[in-house]
Each structure stands twice: as structure tokens, then as C-alpha cells.
A = this chain, B = another copy of it.
């Protein structure tokens, strides 16, 4: 057989595969593995100590106690998800927005359950985006979604962010410019991580929400633009209630006119190990998303769905979210205190960081002459000091008319311990001062 083999003959990859580049996250994970004593403020992972292990053991025993019922849970489910869970999630969405299901203006048939909300981001993009189509994201934005857009061949256009999230005037300006250029028909999605954003940690203010929605409606005169509301971190609000969802502002809209797909997940506010996410879609997209999901798996793991469903109905989920809110609040305060302590007097006016009210991230901006990129001196120096961060440059999409800033950093307090967070910030500050050659 070997005589007929062709050792050097390559596979010819598809155009989509050709557009799919290495994710920076792979390099960061490899760096962390290669440096086991490093403190990682890079990983956007969850707090380890609060993962609900004993609780899950109990839930699973309950779920499988009756063998006949247990078997149904080990069997195939349906593509769009467990009906009971979909109904519970619709109630959950309505409750988070302070409405009844009736007021919320949606039905359980519009809920889709996926392998984490990441799969739903990918499915909605596959449903709508052809190569050359335009998708609008924040500047910066969640880099894994930018990867999805690269594979799809989308043109990424970006909108400035400030402490109140995406700036509506800038979104309107961009859409007006695209319209003037005769390219509005190519705009398919406006993507916003609107609670405790990854990477900036900011939340879209209450006042901006209806404004953003109206802008997307305004430019949807000839085809509907999807407003993709990624609310993965919504439930990890530290104190009080976060703003209502953008979707809440179209509760009263007529069926057939919804612009918003609202996405959430069990990975951040419960446990990533089940890989269950979900979303509320405009009715017109549900069937096609289901057919595209048929291609991938005809349904998310039934056992995982039953488990999170039981966690919701038993009250465990709500209790766990409260634990996590307190936990991340404590960790965020710890990181902000350390930043004040170690960088509070560093280049005032040119050094600043965001003040998250939830989620896992702080966004740090340094003076422009400090290069935070992977190939710059700070990244290497930080590793030598024993701390890892995400270069902010990874978080900017390839907007053709913008230049990527080289002086930002994404910090996460998700996975580092309360002991390591201040140590990590201290090391980072030390590295910054060492490379500061002004």
C-alpha cells in the first residue's frame, strides 16, 4: 500500500477554512501551560471555588432516581431543545425584565437551546451572513465572535465604545455612511455585548438602549438588520438590577417585526461544564436556525439540558447566581483596589481603567507609547514578572478604516484567586514601570 501512498499530497482546504485563523486564545493558553507559576489575568474563565460540584451530584441523583424517567434523559432530545426548559427560559427572560410572559411578547417556540451561546452566535451568523456582508461590532469587541465573522467572510465595521457602552451617535453615523455608499443592503447584524462587556467591562446604559434599537429599526426599511444582543454576563451583576434588555424595548412590537436576538448562557452564571446556552430569536429565524443546527448535532446534549432545567426549577440556579454575584463583586473590588494601589499614580490622565458593575473584566488603557501587544516589550516583561494578560489589540475587529490601538489590556478577575489578583496586578505594574522608557 505504501508504494501507492502520496506522502506529500496536501488536502485542499475550503475557502471558509482558509479564512479561519488561529485564535489568540490558543497562544495564551499555551503560554499559561508553559509557565505553570504564572498568574493568569488573561483567561476569561469562571471562578473555580464556586463551581457547584456537590449541588450537581445531588441534582443528578434526583434526575436518575427513577430509572424509567432517567432513561428518557439519556435519550435523544429535539433540535431546538427540551420543551419544559424552553418554557422556563422564556419565563426567566420575562422575569429578568420585570414583565410577565404575556407582556414580554414572545413564545417558548422562539427559545433555542444551544451548545453554549457561542453556538447560537455561529448559527445566527451562518443564517444571515454571506461573504462580503457587513457586521457591525463594538470597538473593541468579543474576539471569538470576530473569529466567527472571519470564517463567514464578513466585513467587520466597528463603533466606538465608552463607559456607557456602544455610542449611539457613532452607530448612526456609520450606518448613514454605509447607506450613502450604497452598501446598506449588505449590513446583516449589529452585535453588542451589552452587559459587563467582554472585553471592556462596560454596560450599555439604560438611556442608550431604546436609541440603539431605534437606529437599527430606522436602517431596516428594506431588509431587517438583526440586533444581536449578547447578554452572557447579564446575571453576574454585582449589586441591584442591571438595565433592562434591549429586547425589552420591543416587547410591544408586532409579531414579525422583532429586530433583537437576546442570548444568554448557563456557562458563566452556573457552570461551563454542561455547555448550555440559549436565546430568544425573532420568530422568522427560528426554523432556519433549527435546520442549520440539524447539520451540526440535531440538539444539545439532553442530559445537560435536564440538569440545568432541574437546577432552575429546584431554586438551586437562583441561589447559585447570588453566590456568584457576591463572589465576583469581591474579586472585582480586589482588582480595582490593587490597580489603584499600584497604578493610581502612574501617568495620570493617560492611564485609566473601567469600573465594571458585573461580569469578569476590567479594561486597562496605558499611555500610547507603551506597547501592550504580543510582540511588544511589556508582554514579555509581564511573563518574566509572572503575570499573563490579553493584549487589547486582539479585541479589535479588522475594520478596514481603523488603526488598532496598541496600548490596551484586557484583565479578568474570573479565574484568579483573591490572593493572586493583587499579586498579579502588582507584577503587571512592575512590568509596566520597567518598560516605561519615556
* Contact surface of A with B, Cβ cutoff 8 Å: 1-2, 4-17, 20-23, 25-26, 29, 45-46, 48-49, 51-54, 56-57, 60-61, 64-65, 67-68, 70-71, 73-78, 115-116, 118-119, 122, 126-130, 133, 144, 147-148, 151, 185, 188, 210, 213-214, 217-218, 220-224, 226, 249-250, 252-257, 267, 271-276, 282, 284-285, 288, 291-292, 294-304, 306
Contact = CB atoms under 8 A, between A and B. Distances in A.
A213 B217 CA distance: 56
B5 A297 contact: no
Contact of A275 (B70, B285, B299): B299
**What number of copies of this chain does the assembly contain?**
2
9 contacts: A5-B254, A6-B224, A7-B255, A16-B126, A17-B128, A56-B60, A56-B70, A116-B297, A147-B294
A60 B310 CA distance: 16
Given A1-B213, A223-B10, A288 B20 contact: yes
Given A5-B217, A11-B226, A29-B78, 8 more contacts: A5-B253, A9-B222, A11-B223, A20-B288, A75-B271, A122-B296, A296-B296, A301-B304
Nearest to A297: B115
Nearest to A213: B1
B46 A75 contact: yes
Contacts of A17: 126-128, 288, 292
A129 B15 CA distance: 8
Contact of A2 (B68, B78, B133, B252): B252
B75 A54 contact: no
A7 to B, nearest CB: 4
A295 B56 contact: no
User: For A15, A22, A53, A254, which residue has the most chain B Cβ atoms within 10 angstroms?
Assistant: A53
A11 B76 contact: no
A294 B23 contact: yes
A9 B223 CA distance: 5
Top 10 nearest A-B pairs (CB, nearest first) are A53-B70, A74-B273, A57-B64, A275-B301, A51-B71, A273-B303, A5-B257, A74-B271, A60-B60, A7-B257
Contacts of A2: 252-254
Nearest to A51: B71
Given A17-B126, A54-B70, A64-B57, A76 B7 contact: no
Contacts of A26: 294
A341 to B, nearest CB: 30
A217 B4 contact: yes
Contacts of A255: 7
A135 to B, nearest CB: 12
Nearest to A68: B53
Given A49-B71, A75-B48, A252-B1, A274 B303 contact: yes
A302 B6 contact: no
A7 B258 CA distance: 8
Nearest to A298: B118
A219 to B, nearest CB: 10
Given A17-B127, A301-B115, A64 B60 contact: yes
A223 B10 CA distance: 5
Q: Which of A17, A253, A254 has the most CB of B within 10 A?
A: A17
Contacts of A267: 76
A26 B295 CA distance: 13
A255 to B, nearest CB: 8
Nearest to A217: B4
A14 B186 CA distance: 11
A57 B7 CA distance: 47
A208 to B, nearest CB: 15
Contacts of A52: 74
Nearest to A133: B14
A199 to B, nearest CB: 16
Contact of A273 (B127, B250, B272, B302): B302
A347 to B, nearest CB: 35
A304 B218 CA distance: 45
Nearest to A15: B130
